[in-house]
Amino acid sequence: MKIRLTNVGKRFNREWIFRNLNFELHPETSYAVTGPNGSGKSTLLQIIAGATTFNEGAIDYYLQHKQINEENVYAKISIAAPYLELVEEMTLSEFFQFHTNLKSWLPSVNSTKIISIINLDQAANKQIRYYSSGMKQRVKLAQAIFSDVPVILLDEPCTNLDKEGINLYKKLVDEYCSNRLLLVSSNDLQEYDFCKEMIDMRDYKLSAAPA
């Protein structure tokens, strides 16, 4: 899947967060989105995911050289972020089963195998509300990475993860994301040191001006 951004800008009230974003995101390529707090990293990912509107410009999505309607983009993209909530009243097994009603897993896995891969076998039948913050982050990453979609967006993916969790994250990216378009929003090098391309939001902050 290819995504083209043309003169994209986002503002809150009268202040532009960024303007004049012009770039193409290509299949099977990993991108790091960097920049200081408030530069719009998370906002950019939400815009690409279709969860947040933008104020100017255009975003076009192409799959196998055919343009996709904006209404159908959600089915092609998965996102994991610290601010996204899980259904904590469900057990992990129930939550993953619920997820498959929305998006399928990659052909090589099922819910039971995913739970084993992220080392949560013993907590599979426990309500997610009783999970630690690190366990919840593993669930969020798994939900995004194992979804059968061509685009994955990861916002600060190592939030709340210990050393073991960070190693697991890198293993998941290496084994399951190399053949897809991947964007990682972060200021922590260990979260994106594998990325082939960089998008520095400061480049687009400089061109932003009051409306």
Helix (H, G, I), strand (E, B) or coil at 25: strand
Domain that holds residue 144: 2-205
pLDDT grade for 94, boundaries at 50, 70 and 90: very high
210 part of a folded domain? no
pLDDT in tens, 141-163: 999 999 999 999 999 999 999 99
Count structural domains, the chain: 1
Q: Which of 154, 149, 147 is nearest to 170 (CA)?
A: 154
Rounded to 5°, angle at Cα 111 from 171 and 86:
85
111 part of a folded domain? yes
Q: What is the pTM of this model?
A: 0.94
198 part of a folded domain? yes
pLDDT in tens, 31-40: 999 999 989 9
Judge contact between 98 and 66, C-beta under 8 A. Answer: no
114 part of a folded domain? yes
